[in-house]
Chains A and B, each alone.
Chain A
Amino acid sequence: MAQVKRPLSPHLQVYRWGAHMAVSIINRMTGVALAVGTILLAWWLVAIATGYEYFNTIQGYADSILGRLVLFGLTYALMQHLAGGIRHLFMDTGKMYDLKSNTLSAKLTFVFAIVTTLAIWFAAYKVMGRL
């Protein structure tokens, strides 16, 4: 049987990056990061249930530079996944499929995530009296 030369779909790397592509893959990556985050949440709840001393050990980890970096990253991941997820819910109703609103809403998820992440950390530092 003769080989039929069918046209191939171009692979990922030939496309020019756009906000809609970025928000799509970042929604998946932040989702996976947040899955790791739930392990930390469970660990933290176990620590509270275990008692005062163990909780303080965990609190020490969380308060370290690395700990705060991880928590800051997880805050951003949560806010980005939240915004990206809400955008998906709108798209599920058939909205925002035209190029303009699709790109705009994709960009807005990044704005939302960055602004809310900074606001959350500002508020947390205010509550801790470190500002």
Chain B
Amino acid sequence: MTDFNTPLSKVRGLGSAKDGTHHWWVQRVTAVANIPLVLFMVISFVGNAGKGHADWVSWLQQPVVAVLTILFVLNVTYHMRLGLQVVIEDYVHSHGLKVVSLILITFACVLIAALSVFSVLRIAFGG
């Protein structure tokens, strides 16, 4: 079998999409980070179940809670951006629609992250 790869491209190992295993790897890293963060969020929701506005505000004003909630939101939106990208690449076959969908989900993920982080900061700093 003829091998058309240059030695340099083999060493780089970036493949035809030019980013190699980066997508796969970052999805795993965010997945691992998600495990303790999800655990924290679940404990936080169960522990404060049914609480009113004032209780949630003072809960989120604790520095550790605010930081972990922000980390959760950032990590989850990144992980979901990567996952939704794969879903779109698998099922949307028209090139134009695919590119538009990918841009739209990127915007949506960034917007969700920005709204959440801004809200947590506003609560934490008592605005």
Contacts and interface: CB of A to CB of B under 8 A. Distances in A.
Interface of A: 28, 31-32, 34-35, 38-39, 41-42, 45-46, 48-49, 51-52, 55-56, 59, 78, 82, 85-86, 88-89, 92, 120, 123-125, 127-130
Interface in B69-103: 69, 73, 76-77, 80, 83-84, 87
Contact of A51 (B31, B35, B53, B77): B53
Given A42-B112, A82-B35, A89-B28, A48 B119 contact: yes
A85 B48 CA distance: 27
A124 B60 contact: no
Contacts of A52: 53-54
B123 A49 contact: yes
Contact of B46 (A46, A78, A123): A123
Nearest to A92: B28
A32 B53 contact: no
A85 B34 contact: yes
Contacts of B42: 78, 120
B40 interface: no
Given A38-B80, A42-B115, A48 B57 contact: yes
Given A41-B116, A49-B120, A92-B28, 16 more contacts: A31-B80, A31-B83, A31-B87, A35-B84, A38-B76, A38-B80, A46-B119, A48-B60, A48-B119, A49-B119, A51-B53, A55-B56, A56-B52, A85-B34, A123-B46, A124-B49
Max chain B Cβ within 10 angstroms of own Cβ: one of A49, A55, A88, A124: A49
A32 B85 CA distance: 11
A127 B77 contact: no
A28 B86 CA distance: 10
A67 to B, nearest CB: 13
B28 A127 contact: no
A58 B20 CA distance: 44
Contacts of B83: 28, 31-32, 35
B77 to A, nearest CB: 6
B115 to A, nearest CB: 5
Nearest to B90: A28
B104 interface: no
A130 B69 CA distance: 27
Nearest to A49: B119
A49 B80 CA distance: 24
